[in-house]
Each structure stands twice: as C-alpha cells, then as structure tokens.
A and B are shown apart, each in its own frame.
Chain A
C-alpha cells in the first residue's frame, strides 16, 4: 500500500475493522423482526415468507414495501392472485402503515393474472422487464406458489432462474408461499430462496394464535424458535418479544 492509502487508513475511525466485508442489510419494516436477524434482510437476497391462509403473508409483504418507501426506496408488488388488485388494496388500506401517497409511485402494483397461462420464459421476461422499468429496491411476488401450480414440470427451473435474476437486479425480494395441508412450507421454493420465514397458526384453547419463525437466513446468525405475532390496523404486523 502506498502513502496515500496509509494516510487513508490512519484517518479511519478508531477500532474500525478493515478487512471484513460485512453483509449489507435493509430493515424489514416489521417491528421485532430485525432484532432476530442481525438488523435486517441481507441485500440483495430472496426471502420466502410461507404460511397458510390468514397468517399475514400479504400484510407482512406490504409493510416491508411501505417501510422502504419511507426511506425513498422503490417497491414493486407482483400479485398473482385471481382476485383483482383493487380488492386487495381496499382491505390493506385500512392499515395505518399504508400511506396512500405512495401508491403508483414508490409502491407500484403489477397484476400478473393475465400472464400466468403463458410459457415460463415469457413469465420470467415479463417480471424482468417490469423490474428493469421500475428499478425497485424491494420486490414482492404474492404468492409465487400459484405459478408453481400452473407451470408444474418446469417449476424448479423457473424458480432457479427467477431467484438468480432477482438477486442480480440488486433488490430484496419477498416470495410469499401458500402452505398446503400437511406441508410445513413450499419445499421447492425454500431451496431456491436465501431465507425462509414461516408464519403459522397454532390452536391454544379456543383460539388460534399467529407465530413467526425464521427457519433459514443465509449469512445471518438468526434467532430460532417460534415467536408470537400480532396484526392490528394500528400497528400492522409486529413480532412480540416473548417466545413460546
């Protein structure tokens, strides 16, 4: 190293480590979660958020996008549901974290319903084009498992190509996955994703409570075990501290 470099080293703050490349992370936007995962999701990465109906997958994903929008980050939400986007938005707009001024600019929606009967390559190209147009830092595909039901034979290759290109676009992508009865999480997606977060409902007495568990997060010393969550209009999706 020459003199200039040496001077640069000397000017660094005391105690600063020089060699190690830390994984850059972005906050998840979910209160309580970042404490479990060393500060946030690795950037870029692909995160599977899996759960059965009513566990809060879509709420989790929207909150992630709106948290990014608060910091000026572009969000892109692909919906593969047959339900029209405006119905989904109508329900979600009740949450206090949803700021309507972000709709259509920092949080954009793409309804993929009409694309799903196309060949796999076309679906991938369509997703890539939308991402390139928008240049998002946060992406959601909700739910990705619908595509699996349609493409069937090519699903593994589709997921491999999809996750590979998603990471190269330099964004954190949440893929939500519906869990079938008897299944813990969608296995094919879990292999392709860098992280797996499981949302579940557990019967306790006469009620069913919601839980979140980080099953896998590459490059992250994450907490294990199921943590209770609450979902309210006022606070959105929150991971509670107590562990069960």
Chain B
C-alpha cells in the first residue's frame, strides 16, 4: 500500500468507530474500491478485527486478490459472495470462508446468514454473530440493479440492528451524486456519515 493510501487510512482511522457502530461513507463511485480496501486494512490489521465482506458487484476473488497483493492479512475475513455464480469468471474456492448466494437478488435475506443460516451448494452455514466484529458491503449501489428499494431498505434495517443490538461495526459506501435516492434512503438508516475528503484521496 502506498503512502497516499496510508494517509487515507490515517484519516479514516480518526473517524471510523468513534461515534457508534454504523457508518455510511461517501465518495465518488470510482474511488469506492480503494476506500473499501483501505478500510479493510484498517479493521483487519491495525485493529485486529474479524469481519464479513458482502460482495455485490464482483466475485469475492477480486477483493481477495487485491488484499493479497497489498499484503493485507485475510485470516479473519469471510465473504458473502452474491455474484460468483453468474459472473462468468467464478472461482469456487475455500468454501469454508465463503457463502455463495444464488445471485444478488433479495438482499433483504442476505443477513439471515446470522440467524437461521444460508444454504449454498456446499452446506448450510450460520455465521456465529459473536465471532464477527464488522461487516462491509461492496457495493450497495449495485443492489439497485437487481432489487426493489423495499428490499434494500430491509437490508439496511437488518444492518442497523446488527450494529445496535450486537455492536457490530457496519460500513457502507456510496456516491451520493451518482445514486441520490439510495443515498437518501441510507441517510435514514445509518447513524454516521463520513465524507471522504478529496485531500485524503490525494494524500
């Protein structure tokens, strides 16, 4: 990770997890991947947290590959992968750490993995809530393509409950200019908003 990203991490560190447990960060859509990566580094390495990455717009292998290349320890990261099964370049690997859903549809059911469990091709898995410190969603705007707003609202509600009732840090990123209505919806659910400043991105 370069110096510019380390400075971004430093800026995020002073904001994330300071005022409660649920956070929406806002940045331009083109920077979402980079900011997510830096947040994962902060949570997994600096804070030694255990977490789940819910991937909605590309197979988890890409995020895993990015983390590997940036030498970010993934031992404590698991995935809910909604895309791999119909992405055309899916790699079904390490099923112990990944729940493969049948697509990015019905996002309102995703977080059932914490209660009754989620059945994929391999097995039914229930994520032990006591072993999860954070959830990050990459990226919620993709859900708009396959889901109704009501489904997304229910997903947000489930996220907020995880944050409130179980103290799990929930992080969602969005570009407010590109997805104004979804941003409005998220504002209704997420307690904290972190506006990623341009100077943080420029380093």
B is bound to A:
yes
Contacts from A to B (Cβ < 8 Å): 1-2, 4-5, 7-9, 11-13, 16-22, 24, 26, 43, 71-73, 128-129, 132-133, 135, 137, 161, 164-165, 167-170
The answer to whether B187 touches A11, judged by C-beta atoms less than 8 angstroms apart, is yes
Instruction: Find residues 52-83 in chain B having any chain A CB closer than 8 Å to their own CB.
Output: 57-59, 62, 65-66, 69-70
The answer to whether A135 touches B34, judged by C-beta atoms less than 8 angstroms apart, is yes
With A19-B149, A132-B65 as contacts: A26 and B30 at CB distance below 8 Å: yes
Tell me how far the C-beta of A22 lies from the nearest C-beta in chain B, rounded to whole angstroms.
Answer: 7
The answer, among B37, B181, B187, B198, for a CB contact under 8 Å with A135, is B37
Q: Which of B70, B89, B145, B198 has the most CB of A within 10 A?
A: B89
Known: A13-B180, A24-B175. 10 other contacts (CB 8 A): A1-B153, A7-B188, A18-B149, A18-B181, A19-B149, A129-B69, A135-B37, A135-B66, A168-B89, A170-B33
User: A17 vs B181: C-alpha distance in the bound complex, in angstroms?
Assistant: 7
Determine whether B124 belongs to the interface, using a CB cutoff of 8 Å to chain A: no
The answer to whether A16 touches B188, judged by C-beta atoms less than 8 angstroms apart, is no
The answer to whether B202 touches A72, judged by C-beta atoms less than 8 angstroms apart, is yes
Determine whether B201 belongs to the interface, using a CB cutoff of 8 Å to chain A: yes
The answer, among B30, B62, B89, for a CB contact under 8 Å with A137, is B30
Question: Contacts of B88 on A, CB cut-off 8 Å?
Answer: 164
Determine whether B126 belongs to the interface, using a CB cutoff of 8 Å to chain A: no
Tell me how far the C-beta of A23 lies from the nearest C-beta in chain B, rounded to whole angstroms.
Answer: 9
The answer to whether A165 touches B181, judged by C-beta atoms less than 8 angstroms apart, is no
User: A59 vs B185: C-alpha distance in the bound complex, in angstroms?
Assistant: 42
The answer to whether B89 touches A164, judged by C-beta atoms less than 8 angstroms apart, is yes
Contacts from B to A (Cβ < 8 Å): 28-34, 37, 57-59, 62, 65-66, 69-70, 87-89, 141, 144-145, 148-150, 153, 156-157, 175, 178-181, 184-189, 198, 201-202
The answer, among A8, A19, A73, A170, for a CB contact under 8 Å with B188, is A8
Question: Contacts of A1 on B, CB cut-off 8 Å?
Answer: 149-150, 153
- The A interface, classified by DSSP as helix, strand, loop or mixed, is loop
The answer to whether A137 touches B66, judged by C-beta atoms less than 8 angstroms apart, is no
The answer to whether B58 touches A168, judged by C-beta atoms less than 8 angstroms apart, is yes
Question: Contacts of A170 on B, CB cut-off 8 Å?
Answer: 30, 32-33, 57-58
Q: In the complex, what residue of chain A is closest to B188 when comparing beta carbons? A: A8
The answer to whether B66 touches A132, judged by C-beta atoms less than 8 angstroms apart, is yes
Question: Contacts of B57 on A, CB cut-off 8 Å?
Answer: 170
Question: Contacts of A164 on B, CB cut-off 8 Å?
Answer: 87-89
The answer to whether A12 touches B184, judged by C-beta atoms less than 8 angstroms apart, is yes
Question: Contacts of B186 on A, CB cut-off 8 Å?
Answer: 8
Question: Contacts of A2 on B, CB cut-off 8 Å?
Answer: 153, 157
The answer to whether A9 touches B185, judged by C-beta atoms less than 8 angstroms apart, is yes
Tell me how far the C-beta of B3 lies from the nearest C-beta in chain A, rounded to whole angstroms.
Answer: 11
Question: Contacts of A73 on B, CB cut-off 8 Å?
Answer: 30
The answer to whether B62 touches A16, judged by C-beta atoms less than 8 angstroms apart, is no
The answer to whether A21 touches B65, judged by C-beta atoms less than 8 angstroms apart, is no
Question: Contacts of B34 on A, CB cut-off 8 Å?
Answer: 135
Tell me how far the C-beta of A212 lies from the nearest C-beta in chain B, rounded to whole angstroms.
Answer: 24
User: A167 vs B33: C-alpha distance in the bound complex, in angstroms?
Assistant: 13
Q: In the complex, what residue of chain A is closest to B59 when comparing beta carbons? A: A168
The answer to whether B59 touches A4, judged by C-beta atoms less than 8 angstroms apart, is no
The answer to whether A137 touches B31, judged by C-beta atoms less than 8 angstroms apart, is yes
Tell me how far the C-beta of B6 lies from the nearest C-beta in chain A, rounded to whole angstroms.
Answer: 14
Tell me how far the C-beta of A176 lies from the nearest C-beta in chain B, rounded to whole angstroms.
Answer: 21
The answer to whether A21 touches B145, judged by C-beta atoms less than 8 angstroms apart, is yes
User: A1 vs B198: C-alpha distance in the bound complex, in angstroms?
Assistant: 34
Question: Contacts of A72 on B, CB cut-off 8 Å?
Answer: 31, 198, 201-202
